[in-house]
Amino acid sequence: MSWKTLDTNGNVKTAASAGTITESNLSLSDITTADVTSTKHGFAPKSPADATKFLNGAATPAYALVKDSDLSTSDITTNDVSTSKHGFAPKAPNDATKFLNGTGAYSVPTGGGTTTIVSVRISDAQWKSLNTVPVQVVAAPGNANYIIAPVQITGYKSFTGGTYSVARNPRFRHANSAFDLITLSLTNSTNIQVVMGNLLAGGTDAVDVRNQAIEISHSGDVTGGNAANFLEVMITYVTYDMSVT
């Protein structure tokens, strides 16, 4: 079957007089027969009047929301976030010490603290001499710009035999300081837990405690006890770089 173009009088137009059929000659409706599919060219489907939907490339193309699974990403950085525009997060550097900063790059934060947990057992002999021979429970950080801040100290005592000459409560200080960070009370308790709210427990130290270890001691001589006795101390602390604060 072939189509003929007729003029207004019903006469067949010649090739020279027929002209070109333009979009103005078309009369469109809601019929979808001639819409585009994966097997043929055709008209775009009727718009859904929804600016969030776009025509996809399915076998029968339809307007749908763009999903994250529709995206194909690569190592191209053109659309990464920057200080001048929104964008994708840069590719991860595979380094857990780095974080995305405000310039759109990964870097190691300055001034942050590193949290560590240590456990130390104080023997009966050490307990009796803590007044004159303190025991180091946290080592010095090794850099003059660093400071140690305990955030939690937990003590467990096992004084199973032998009476001590006097009751002493252990205290925690920086090695060069006479300021008590915290004192644990052993009175009528086997398990002791103290949560510290700040570095100096609300006080002010008179000396520079950067790069100083933390020691446990008590305030006087002790005799008696039993060789099986011990005090277990666990300290959670944060090391801060004071050079960038």
Is the residue at 174 inside a domain? yes
Find the domain containing 237 and state its range. Answer: 113-244
Burial 67-103 (b: 16+ CB within 10 A, else e): eeeeeeeeeeeeeeeeeeeeeeeeeeeeeeeeeeeee
Look at residue 221 and tell me if it is in a domain: yes
For residue 95, give both structure tokens. 């380094």
pLDDT in tens, 179-232: 888 777 765 444 444 433 334 444 556 678 888 999 999 888 889 988 988 888
- Secondary structure element (H or E) that encloses residue 76, with its range: none
Report the 3 state secondary structure along 169-205.
CCEEEECCCCCCCEECCCCCCCEEEEECCCCCCCCCC
For residue 188, give the CATH number of its domain: 2.60.120
How many domains are contained in the chain? Answer: 1
Q: Cβ distance 147 to 199 under 8 Å? A: yes
- Say if 167 falls within a structural domain: yes
Position 28 in a domain: no
| Average confidence (pLDDT) over 12-38 | 75
Taking the CA atoms of residue 13, residue 16, residue 17 and residue 20 in that order, the dihedral angle to the nearest 10 degrees is 100
Residue 191 within a domain: yes
Domain membership flag for residue 135: yes
Residue 90 lies in a domain: no
Over residues 151-174, the pLDDT tens digits come to 788 778 887 777 888 878 888 888
Percent of the chain topping pLDDT 90: 34
Q: Give the global pTM.
A: 0.52
Identify whether 40 is part of a domain. no
User: In Å, how far are 81, 113, 177 from 109, measured between CA atoms?
Assistant: 19, 10, 30
